[in-house]
Structure 1
Amino acid sequence: MAAHTRQPSERGKLDLFRALPGDFAARDAQDLMAYPFFSLSKSHRIAPIDFTAGDVSIRVEAVPDHGMATIWDADILIWAASQIVEARDAGLRTSRLMAATPYEILMFVGRGTSLRDYQRLKAALDRLQSTTVSTSIRQPAKGRRHRFSWINEWQEKTDGDGKPAGIELIVPDWFYRAVLDDALVLTIDRAYFDLTGGLDRWLYRLVRKHGGRQREGWRFDFRHLHQKSGALSPFKRFAFELRDTIRRQPLPGYTLFLETEIGGRVLLAFEPSPACGQAVDRLVLSGTRTIVPSGTRGSCYQEPKQGLTCGNKTWNRVLNLESNQQSNFEECARDVQKLIRDTARGLGTAAKKSAGPAISSAPRSPETAPEPPLLPRSGGAR
């Protein structure tokens, strides 16, 4: 019987990359910013995330022992991405096997360094390792999926005297390849680490990914945002929290707006914050007389008080059709249908005029003179 040959572990095949010292730019992977990969709550989540949009499919699963990795746990991946990009740009060799001290990681992501913070870091590493992801993103063949965990493995190291000597972790190949691609990484504001709410953190990453530094900003449908977040909360609660976020304006570098269309469709719009201190109305209406709540009449949640925010716009922004086709597909369809109806109505009117009797050129008496047409009502600017 042939002797069984033990296969070398993944750790033995990888070179060790030691974390770089210093305080440098924070980078995030665009795929992680655009799609629902993490729990937005610190509570123990077991329910999976299932997201499908076009050719993109994502399923995130958790185990009962640790629960799903949260958006706060993702700070470790931001640290890893920042290290890899910084080393690559400096001409250094990078690797998926990374070594650092807990102190270095905690300081980079703006956390404390107490014993409790160290314990939370270890719990975050456990959640990242035990959470599994299956996705079709960046797969060569349609229908294929890549399955991985956010951290393949991690371990604490000790020196010869048994004292702690840092930790080593291995990031998955799917994540590593995305980070090495310049087109798939964005620099984020370090003030992001100061955001305490899960929805605020998720929204900043989404805004940074889709809006970037576009002067005119972008906008999203509320219901599309609810689907894209992967949150367990019902839509009514999600819309309430989103409106409160617009009221508080917590996102560094961006201003949020609430836009309501004539048909009642509620949109979140955002753009880079202006340097001026001029304030305008936060609620921008597209021809509506009243604000349309989030699809319901009554609610146990009170609407946040309206306030003022920076900016110089009083009209709805142009649709971000190229970057956000999913959110605006329904609106495009409605616009096309309206155009068809208006064209048909105009052709019918022209046909009736051409077939009607000749109009007398005799002047009308004052009693039969038609009244001047009414001026069109001023609606919200588009």
Structure 2
Amino acid sequence: MSHRHPRRSEREQLELFRALPGDLAPRDAQDLMAYPFFSLAKTPRTTPIDFRSGDVTIRVEAVAEHGMATIWDADVLIWAASQIVEARDAGLRTSRLMAASPYEILTFIGRGTSLRDYQRLRAAFDRLQSTSIATSLRQASERRLHRFSWINEWVERADGHGRPAGIELIVPDWFYRAVLGDALVLTIDRAYFRLTGGLDRWLYRLVRKHGGRQPHGWRLDFRHLHQKSGCLSPFKRFAFELRDIIRRQPLPGYRLSAQADASGRLLLAFEPEPCGYPVEPLVLSGTPAIVLSGTRDSCYQEPKPPVTYCAGTKKRSLNLDSNVESNIDDVGPVQSRDNIGQGRAP
């Protein structure tokens, strides 16, 4: 009489990959940078994200108990991508089953290591595991959808005194293949983890991804950006917050500005920061004392926050090298105008 063997769990079928030590370069998956996969709000979101553009379909669903995975929770996936790529480049065997201590993950993503930080990390794991994604990205046909969660499962280990000793998690095959695929991962600035605003973080990832090979920058229509963000705020509010980001200049490595095309549409223009040295907030002429101009306010101070200026600004063009799907259909050939910051408000 034959005996039926119990089916092994996914965990038992995977070889454990232990996190590599050291200060690894942070790397992000380009698909996650370019499309709306995460909530940008700090309050729990359960309203689904529905995004369609060309043959790309994305639907993100959340449960009321945990809410949708946020762009801050995505830091865990940046950690995972960085570990997988580093190990692959070193000739080591990688796996979807990953093990690390909470301390290693928290320090990598620039968080504290207190009990409260660890509790927030656990909540992030819960949101990543309970958020459901269905997408046609990287499928053979746009009619075929790949369904998964950001974490298939996770478990925390404890020592004999009940203190956290480590975490094991399984990332989905869709994410794992995206990270291992050629040219599907980009290195990001570590200063990204210091960005506190959800829209700031989303915009940096989009700008970093869509910068492509354009040394003189690139432009995107405000309404197209609103669509790609997946946020719930109305366009008018989104445009206000986007202009505030342009005013603050928080994105590491990039300079932002607003431009208007011939039809009056407001565009976000960005280009790599070429020199990286901020303008001094106070520049004196060398006279023995400060000399005012007679205007209502003193005019020897630069506006705050300081913006980096370098000579030789060039016209920005569409990123035709690596982002055809996001340029041709949504922006079209834009006639260059040098009225930066003077575009008509939406």
TM-score bucket (shorter structure): 0.7 to 0.9
Distance 1:331 1:19 in 2: 42
Question: Map of 1:279-298 to 2, 5 A cutoff?
Answer: none
* C-alpha spacing 1:306/1:116, structure 2 compared with 1 (3 Å): closer
Q: Is the Cα contact below 8 Å between 1:213 and 1:272 reproduced in 2?
A: no
SS at structure 2 position matched to 1:51: strand
Q: Paired residue for 1:170? A: 170
Query: Shift of residue 2 of structure 1?
Result: 8.7
Cα drift, residue 140 of structure 1 = 1.7
User: In the alignment, is the contact (CA less than 8 A) between 1:259 and 1:268 conserved in 2?
Assistant: yes
1:320 aligns with 2:311: no
Please give the secondary structure, in 2, of the residue aligned with 1:71.
Answer: coil
C-alpha distance 54-167 of structure 1, shift in aligned 2 (>3 A): same
What residue number does 1:39 align with? 39
Q: Aligned residue for 1:154?
A: 154
Aligned to 2:85: 85
1:17-37 Cα distance to aligned partner (Å, 9 max, x none): 000111110000000000000
Residue 299 of structure 1 corresponds to which residue in structure 2? none
Offset at residue 182 of structure 1 (A): 3.0
Q: What is aligned with 1:367?
A: none
1:186 partner SS: strand
Contact kept in structure 1, 2:29 and 2:184, CA below 8 Å: yes
Displacement, 1:316? 4.7
> Offset of 1:4 from its aligned partner?
6.2
Could you say which structure has the higher helix fraction? Answer: 1
Determine the structure 1 residue equivalent to 2:295.
none
Partner in structure 1 of residue 112 of structure 2: 112
Structure scoring higher RCO (CA < 8 A, sep ≥ 6) equals: 2
Letter matched to residue 124 of structure 2: A
Q: Are 1:269 and 2:269 counterparts?
A: yes
Distance (Å, rounded) in 2 between the aligned partners of 1:312 and 1:216: 13
Report the TM-score, using the length of structure 1 for normalisation. Answer: 0.77
**CA separation in 2, counterparts of 1:333 and 1:310?**
27
Match of 1:300 in 2: none
Q: Residue 128 of structure 2 aligns to which amino acid in structure 1?
A: L
Q: Post-superposition shift, 1:159?
A: 3.9
TM-score by length of 2: 0.84
Rate the CA distance shift 1:327–1:212 in 2: closer, same or farther, 3 A.
Answer: closer
Following superposition, the deviation at residue 320 of structure 1 comes to 2.7
2:131 aligns with 131
Instruction: List aligned pairs for 1:70-81, cutoff 5 A.
Output: 70-81=70-81
Counterpart residue identity of residue 230, structure 2: G
CA 1:309–1:117: 2 relative to 1, 3 Å = same
Post-superposition offset of 1:263: 1.5
Give the aligned partner of residue 254 of structure 1: 254
- Kindly indicate whether the alpha-carbon contact (under 8 Å) linking 2:273 and 2:308 is maintained by their aligned counterparts in 1: no
- Asked if the contact 1:257/1:268 (under 8 Å) is kept, the reply is yes
Q: Which deviates further from its counterpart, 102-111 or 326-335?
A: 326-335
Task: Find the counterpart in structure 1 of residue 298 from structure 2.
Answer: none
C-alpha displacement at 1:7, in angstroms?
A: 1.4
Counterpart of 2:60 in structure 1 is 60
| Contact map agreement 1:220 1:269 (CA 8 A) in 2 | yes
- Code of the residue aligned with 1:247 in structure 2: it is R
Cα 1:314/1:93, change in 2 over 3 Å: closer
Is the Cα–Cα contact under 8 Å of residues 315 and 380 in structure 1 kept in the other structure? no
Shift of 1:262: 2.8
SS in 1 for 2:157: strand
> What are the Cα deviations for residues 199-232 of structure 1, in whole angstroms up to 9, with x where unaligned?
0100000011010463111110000000000000
Instruction: Output the CA distance in 2 between the equivalents of 1:313 and 1:6.
Output: 68
Q: Give the aligned residue type for 1:179.
A: V
Q: What percentage of residue pairs aligned between the two structures are identical?
A: 71
Deviations 1:333-358 (A, max 9, x none): 898xxxxxxxxxxxxxxxxxxxxxxx
Specify the code of the residue in structure 2 equivalent to 1:10. E
Distance 2:224 2:166 in 1: 42
Cα offset for 1:157? 1.1
Matched, 1:207 2:207: yes
Find the counterpart in structure 1 of residue 300 from structure 2.
Answer: none
Change (3 A) 1:165 1:223: same
Q: Secondary structure at the match of 1:166?
A: strand
Tell whether the 8 Å contact from 1:98 to 1:169 is kept in structure 2 after alignment.
yes
Report the Cα offset of residue 321 of structure 1: 4.2
Q: CA deviation at 1:181?
A: 1.5
Separation in 1, partners of 2:330, 2:28: 30
TM-superposed deviation, 1:276: 6.3
| Alignment partners' CA distance in 2, 1:88 and 1:314 | 39
Partner of 2:329: 329
Structure 2: gaps of 5 or more residues: 280-302, 341-346
Q: Given residue 20 of structure 1, which amino acid in structure 2 is its aligned partner?
A: L
Q: What is the rounded CA distance, in whole Å, between the counterparts of 2:331 and 2:194 in structure 1?
A: 36
